[in-house]
Structure 1
Amino acid sequence: MWSIFKKDIKSIVTNWVAAILIGGLMLLPSLYAWFNIKASWDPYSQTDQLPVAVVNEDIGATVRDIELNIGDEVVKELKNNKDMDWHFVDRKEAMDKVEYGDYFAVIVIPENFSKKLGTVIEDRPEKAKVEYYVNEKINAIAPKITASGAGGIVDKITSNFISTVNGTIFEKFNELGLEIEKDLPDIKKFEEYVFQMEEKLPEIHTLLNDSLADAENAKGMIDKAQALVPDAKRVTGEGLQTIDDTTAFLDKAENRLNEIAPQVQKNLEQVQKMATEVNDFISTVQSSDINLNQGKEISDQINGQITSSIENIEAIEGALNQLQEQNNNNEEGSNTNQEQINQALEQLALLKSELQNIQESGQRITAFLSDKQQELDDLIGQIQTMAATTANEIDAFVKLYNEEIEPTVKQEVANAKKTLNDARGILSEIQKTIPEVEKILANTEGNLGEGEETLKKILGEYPYVNDKINQLADRIREIQGETDINEIIELLQNDPEAEKGFFEEPVLLNKNSLFPIPNYGTGMTPFYTVLAIWVGALLLISLLATGVHNSIDYTEKQIYFGKLFTFMSIGFVQALIVTSGDMFILGVDIAEPVWFILFGLIISLVFISIVYTLVSVFGDVGKAMAIVFLVLQIAGSGGTYPVALLPEFFQTIHPFLPFSYAVDLMREAVGGIVWERVYRDLMFLVLFGIIALLIGTFLKGPLSKKTNALMKKSKESGLFH
């Protein structure tokens, strides 16, 4: 084994061509790692070279009399933004160039952008939209970067919008807090009013029911009153007509009284004169000698005079009866007037009765004159007494009529006419008022109807109002028990600018890197370094022979281990170059530089053992196996993407791939060592190396004849060396 190893080293040293080729094999894997690490060093810092078009079509909007154009503000801000290579063009140019590939993406701010944002103060706010077009076929990563840029624009707009809106809101809250503090006594009163309202609601409900009943009753009364209005019109008209008729009748009665007054006076004077004459005549008869033979003549004279007096009295009675009848027909007639007429009629009736008695007595004179002279004298004496009394009574009646009856009747007629005239004026006013009363009743009926409907509606809403007032009162009591309004006022009076700043960036990400990685290239260094070590092993087995000349002098095991030492030595140098170059040429920031190099050397020994064993044991088939193994490990080791994001197949094979533990081991050195993980990774890597050595030790001999025959057959094709 040592002989084979020393021979290989001597060939390298003494053959300058071999030395150059081996030197190239040592350096080439490092270049593979370095170029990839450098290319991915910090790609996100170069996004300012990605051309992205911005199309601003926003026409602005007017919100609360304030002109607003968010699109212009976005453009102004992007012009000072260096995150990407922004191009501000129109829609046609932007779409043409993004389709051709000159622009990676296009961001379009639509014409209603400001208008939609302005709807935040309306009942139904609408979300503003930003259109984003991307040509994803240009590059796999660029669309993600430009999308991040577009999302950053949206996030910035959103952040500024939220901070502005919330700043305004908290300014209003601050003003509201001051107003609430100022109106705190009124708020306390309001609470008291709510509690009082809660207490009074049952009484209010009762009053509403009573009011509705009263309204219904009042409406019924008004309906009755309206029904009586036609009767009132009729009665008033009839009353006016009656008054007019009565006044006319009184005028006639007054005229009639004036007409008969002289006749009554004349008749009274004649009765008075006749009574005196009767009285004088009787006195004359009494004082003279009466010839009984002349009794009939005397009786006829007395009878004639008395008959004339009775006719005069009856004429007076007729006149007074007419006056009494007119007075009775006049409903407004005076009771005093009636009594005077009745008194006069009674006295006239008495006079008439006494005259009739005298007449009857006179007639008896003739009958008894011849028989009873003495009785005649007595009768004449009685007649004389009665005539004297009658004359005195007639004198008294004449005086009563002249002084009381006639003036009183005239005065009462005048009073009745005045009363009727006043009554007519009153009825005329009433008649004029009836249309207004009718109108008022109609309006009142309408108002009562509306009021009744309103009361019914209020009563219908009462359960809802009652529930809400009770809920409000209960909620106030809960709030009083849970919070203090002074604390709320203090909260509302917070600094608006501080609140605006808070909502502009409500959460600050306080990043604490346990194992800080300064850039993307550093993060990819473990993967590309491990990949370079495996590629270096593939280059070795592709160019260097795994067998020896004069193989009959060596056993298969000696050849296997002798060549293994050669491969390991070259691989050792490859690992040393790539790990050292990562730190000193590229400047990768390695947390544990010494362990980084040592881990690289261990990985190289394991990888060389695996790849060399595959080719040494299986020949060209082993080379293919090593390449396939490389492909599987690139995809399944989790070197570029987290294992959890890989397809299920690669997640399944991940634990059985040497790359998985090699990359993880190098990450420990790059970021910072957790020894528990280092021990686990080293254990599995050593296990893979041991397995490879065991396969080479025990299968190299038994499989060598078959492998050599297979290789000889492939060479005969002229396609393989």
Structure 2
Amino acid sequence: MKNSLNIYKTDLKNIVTNWAAMILIGGLAVLPSLYAWFNIAAMWDPYSHTGNLPIGVVNEDKGATVRDQKINAGKELIETLEDNQSMQWHFTNRKEAMDKVEYGDYFAVVIIPEDFSEKLGTVLSDKPEKAKMEYYVNEKLNAVSPKITEKGATVLADQVSSKFISTVNGVIFEMFNNLGIELEENLPDIEKFENYIFTLEENLPEINKMLNESLGDANSAGDILNKAQGAIPEVKEYTNSGLTTINQTLSYMNEAENRLNSIAPKVKQDVAKVQSIADQINQLLDQAKNSKIDINEGKKVQQNLEKQMDDAITTLNTVEKALQQLQETNAQLPPSSNEETGEEEQTSDQLSNEQIGRAISQTADLRKSLEQLRADVNQMDQFLNNTETASKVVDQIHQAAADTNVKLDEFVKEYQNNIEPTILEEVGKAKGTLTGAKGILVEIQSTLPEVERVLNSTQKNLKEGKGMLEYASGEFPYVNDKVKQLAEKIRDVQKDTDINEIIQLLRNDPSAERSFFEEPVLLNQNKLFPIENYGTGMTPFYTVLAGWVGALLLISLLAVDVHHDGLYTGRQVYFGRFFTFWTIGIVQTIVVTLGDLFLIGVNAKHPVWLVLFGLLVSSVFILIVYSLVSVFGNVGKALAIVLLVLQIAGSGGTYPVQLLPKFFQIINPYLPFTYAVDLMREAVGGIVWGRALRDIGVLVLCGVIAIIFGAFLKEPINKKTQKFLEKSKESGLVH
């Protein structure tokens, strides 16, 4: 070990004392860090500059009309992109856009076709069609840009889809909300309807019975209406005939009343005249009886009596004829009827006829009595010569006159108290009855056209109603089944579903539902080990890569062997020169890690551990590379470069190993880079000591293997390859 340290001291002394060596070593210390810093700075935040990527946008959408509302999704999308800074959007036409994307001025082109809105509107039709956007990308311009522009186009499609879904669902849920409100308002009516269906189901047998009965009644009503319509002409005839008869009867009654009014005073006058004559006869007979009658005086009395008798008889004839006229008039009056029974009964008009008959009979008796009395008076001259006989005749005539006068008084009372008032009253009643009957017949006559119209209309409606009843009766079995099915379904729904729950489900906030479907899933991102930006995330990889590159630079410029002329063994040379390489590697690591932290501004979670882990990684890499070159010479350099290539691709430093081809997934666990990058990530993002210790253990194991490999194989392998190296140097191409 002492010789090894001597080699190491000599190397340090040569570096310090030789300014050219010092500059060269200084360059070797700083150069690997530049590789890391430039790459980290370049990738610091590349996605913040996507706004510089030119993307062409062509809007050919013509819009559409959906449910009487005009929509233009393409126009709305353009308006949204005008405020979007995620990429450099250029709004142009199809020809210019395709020319520029082909030439390379645009990385990609998005074209909104003319039927874009129309296809979106088909969501409300029976056969909805998906709307499509055309996307063109020039992939030869850059390997990453197509992925970025494709992501942008996908975002556009997602935005349109999200907006469309939120709008449509907003409308749908607004309809649901209105439906829920309407259901809630109409809940009493719905419950009433359910009860109505159940009641209808219960009453179906009764309804069927009523339909059949109504159909029978309709047939009967049709027959009645036919009879009534047939009777209308007869009713018209009877009405016209009745009016004619009543008008004639009223005319006659007026005439009869006028006649009665004219006869009544004459009858009274004639009766009074007869009474006066009777009184005169009685006075004359009293005078004849009280005075002495001689032949001359007796003849005068006889003549005077005969004259009075003739006048009285004539007057009684006149009265008798007048009474006969009254009887005829009264007989023509309409009979009264019993209002309760409707049957004709004997009333005052019949009684007056009897009274008039008795008056006529009394008048006839009076007339006969007067005629008899006149006959007696006519014979009175035969007894005038015989005083005694004449006195008896006068007494007899006086007695007859007195009897006649009594009868006459009775007749006068009967006529004044009964006959005349009864007849006049009945005439008035008859006129009132006839006038009322005439009014009724006139009203009936005026109503007959309306009755006829109603009957015709009723007949028509009855036919229609009968047809409907027949239809209803024919459809009743179907209705009966449907009502029962509906009632059964309502019962099933009531068992399985509460309508209040349905209303509660439908009632919602349309704005909230629209917002929900616009972004139904919110990603609640929790960063366990937050990385500030992409450059910070790539720092572990490029820092580790700088360590391996630094080792390659060292073995490319510095010799791994010492010219010792047999003073040192191979193992002593191996360790002595390794210390020199290791010292320079430590300086490289300190420069690159501190530069990451303070020059680039990497925000490492554990900056001290970043430096310490970097020293460990660098030490292991120096051991591996140095051992390969120390043992195999130039072949070792080639092996180190091959290992670098494999580790860049297979370590998972840029892409997850799961995305790599199968070969790299297989070799990944055996590459020092895998554990070195993982260990540096622990320092940058946050240390999980279980993983860190595993990585440290694997790296230490790799270092130990490299030391064993170099320390024990250097000398024997160098002896075997000495001739190969000397021969290769003879070519003048290999040093």
TM-score range for the pair, normalised by the shorter chain length = 0.5 to 0.7
Shift of 1:40: 1.0
Which residue does 1:176 correspond to in 2?
179
Q: 2:628 aligns with which of 589, 610, 614?
A: 614
Which residue does 1:586 correspond to in 2?
600
Which residue does 2:488 correspond to in 1?
470
Q: Aligned in 2, Cα 1:703/1:179: closer, same or farther, shift over 3 Å?
A: same
Q: 2:711 aligns with which of 684, 697, 702?
A: 697
Q: Aligned in 2, Cα 1:450/1:112: closer, same or farther, shift over 3 Å?
A: farther
**Is 1:146 equivalent to 2:149 in the alignment?**
yes
Residues 153-197 of structure 1: CA deviation (Å, up to 9, x unaligned): 112122222222222233323322222221111111233345456
Which residue does 1:5 correspond to in 2?
8
How far apart are the structure 1 equivalents of 2:10 and 2:552?
22
**Is 1:720 equivalent to 2:718 in the alignment?**
no
Shift of 1:464: 8.2
**Is 1:99 equivalent to 2:102 in the alignment?**
yes
How far apart are the structure 2 equivalents of 1:492 and 1:112?
34
How far apart are the structure 1 equivalents of 2:712 and 2:31?
33
Shift of 1:718: 2.4
**Is 1:532 equivalent to 2:546 in the alignment?**
yes
How far apart are the structure 2 equivalents of 1:512 and 1:99?
42
Q: Report the 3-state secondary structure (helix = DSSP H, G, I; strand = E; otherwise coil) of the residue aligned with 1:132.
A: strand
How far apart are the structure 2 equivalents of 1:702 and 1:172?
89
Q: Aligned in 2, Cα 1:105/1:472: closer, same or farther, shift over 3 Å?
A: farther
Q: How does 1:560-571 map to 2 (within 5 A)?
A: 560-571=574-585
Is this contact kept in 1: 2:589–2:615, CA < 8 A? yes
Is this contact kept in 2: 1:106–1:134, CA < 8 A? yes
Amino acid at match of 2:533: N
Which residue does 1:683 correspond to in 2?
697
Q: Aligned in 2, Cα 1:22/1:198: closer, same or farther, shift over 3 Å?
A: farther
Amino acid at match of 1:24: G
Q: Report the 3-state secondary structure (helix = DSSP H, G, I; strand = E; otherwise coil) of the residue aligned with 1:87.
A: strand
How far apart are the structure 2 equivalents of 1:512 and 1:525?
22
**Is 1:517 equivalent to 2:531 in the alignment?**
yes
How far apart are the structure 1 equivalents of 2:583 and 2:79?
62
Is this contact kept in 2: 1:617–1:696, CA < 8 A? yes
Superposition TM-score, scaled by structure 1 size: 0.63
How far apart are the structure 1 equivalents of 2:585 and 2:29?
7
Residues 94-134 of structure 1: CA deviation (Å, up to 9, x unaligned): 11111121111110111011111222222332221111111
Amino acid at match of 2:135: Y
Shift of 1:566: 0.5
How far apart are the structure 1 equivalents of 2:196 and 2:649?
76
Shift of 1:499: 2.6
Q: Report the 3-state secondary structure (helix = DSSP H, G, I; strand = E; otherwise coil) of the residue aligned with 1:53.
A: strand
Q: Which deviates more, 64-73 or 18-27? A: 64-73
Q: Report the 3-state secondary structure (helix = DSSP H, G, I; strand = E; otherwise coil) of the residue aligned with 2:132.
A: coil
Is this contact kept in 1: 2:201–2:483, CA < 8 A? no
Q: 2:54 aligns with which of 42, 45, 51?
A: 51
Q: Which deviates more, 190-199 or 541-550? A: 190-199
Shift of 1:519: 0.5
Residues 662-695 of structure 1: CA deviation (Å, up to 9, x unaligned): 0000000000011111110000000000000000
Which residue does 1:313 correspond to in 2?
none
Q: Which deviates more, 3-12 or 159-168? A: 159-168
Amino acid at match of 1:110: P
Is this contact kept in 2: 1:195–1:473, CA < 8 A? no
Which residue does 2:29 correspond to in 1?
26
Q: 1:479 aligns with which of 487, 490, 497?
A: 497
Which residue does 2:122 correspond to in 1?
119
Amino acid at match of 2:26: G
How far apart are the structure 2 equivalents of 1:557 and 1:22?
24
Long gaps (5+) in structure 2: 220-455
Q: Report the 3-state secondary structure (helix = DSSP H, G, I; strand = E; otherwise coil) of the residue aligned with 1:553.
A: coil
Q: Report the 3-state secondary structure (helix = DSSP H, G, I; strand = E; otherwise coil) of the residue aligned with 1:127.
A: coil
Residues 206-249 of structure 1: CA deviation (Å, up to 9, x unaligned): 969x999x99x9xxx9xxxxxxxxxxxxxxxxxxxxxxxxxxxx
Q: Aligned in 2, Cα 1:18/1:492: closer, same or farther, shift over 3 Å?
A: same
How far apart are the structure 2 equivalents of 1:197 and 1:631?
89
Q: Report the 3-state secondary structure (helix = DSSP H, G, I; strand = E; otherwise coil) of the residue aligned with 1:684.
A: helix
Q: Report the 3-state secondary structure (helix = DSSP H, G, I; strand = E; otherwise coil) of the residue aligned with 1:552.
A: coil
How far apart are the structure 2 equivalents of 1:147 and 1:469?
59
How far apart are the structure 1 equivalents of 2:587 and 2:117?
65
Q: Report the 3-state secondary structure (helix = DSSP H, G, I; strand = E; otherwise coil) of the residue aligned with 1:54.
A: strand
Q: Report the 3-state secondary structure (helix = DSSP H, G, I; strand = E; otherwise coil) of the residue aligned with 1:92.
A: helix
Is this contact kept in 1: 2:197–2:483, CA < 8 A? no
Q: 1:66 aligns with which of 59, 66, 69?
A: 69
Superposition TM-score, scaled by structure 2 size: 0.62
Q: Which deviates more, 704-713 or 625-634? A: 704-713
Which residue does 1:431 correspond to in 2?
none
How far apart are the structure 2 equivalents of 1:184 and 1:463?
26
Q: 1:674 aligns with which of 670, 684, 688?
A: 688
Q: Report the 3-state secondary structure (helix = DSSP H, G, I; strand = E; otherwise coil) of the residue aligned with 2:566.
A: helix
Number of aligned residue pairs: give it.
492
How far apart are the structure 1 equivalents of 2:192 and 2:125?
32
Shift of 1:465: 7.9
How far apart are the structure 2 equivalents of 1:594 and 1:526?
14
Which residue does 2:614 correspond to in 1?
600
Amino acid at match of 1:653: I
Q: How does 1:350-429 map to 2 (within 5 A)?
A: none
Amino acid at match of 2:636: G
How far apart are the structure 2 equivalents of 1:713 and 1:60?
81
